[in-house]
Amino acid sequence: MSPESDHPVEYFFNTRTKMVEKGRQSSWEHLMGPYPTAEEAAGALEIAKHRTESWDDDDDRWRNES
């Protein structure tokens, strides 16, 4: 078994090029991920948007409970 097959393939979204990369090909400064599939990596910005909105809602609830 080769060392490459010991590790699952990871996909990254490059925020500079707006492209999905198979494996880490660019500087970490431009990458979001890793994601298990290219499709999930392609949706990285949408995933981040939903997480941010959820955290903002949590913050609002926390402030209103204080």
Amino acid sitting at position 11: Y
This prediction has a pTM of 0.76
Q: CA-to-CA distance for 43 and 46, rounded, in angstroms?
A: 5
What is the helix (H) or strand (E) element at residue 61, kind and residue range?
Answer: helix 44-65
Q: Which helix (H) or strand (E) holds 41?
A: helix 38-42
Residue 2 has pLDDT above 90, yes or no: no
pLDDT tens-digit series, residues 7-63: 899 999 999 999 999 999 999 999 999 999 999 999 999 999 999 999 998 898 999
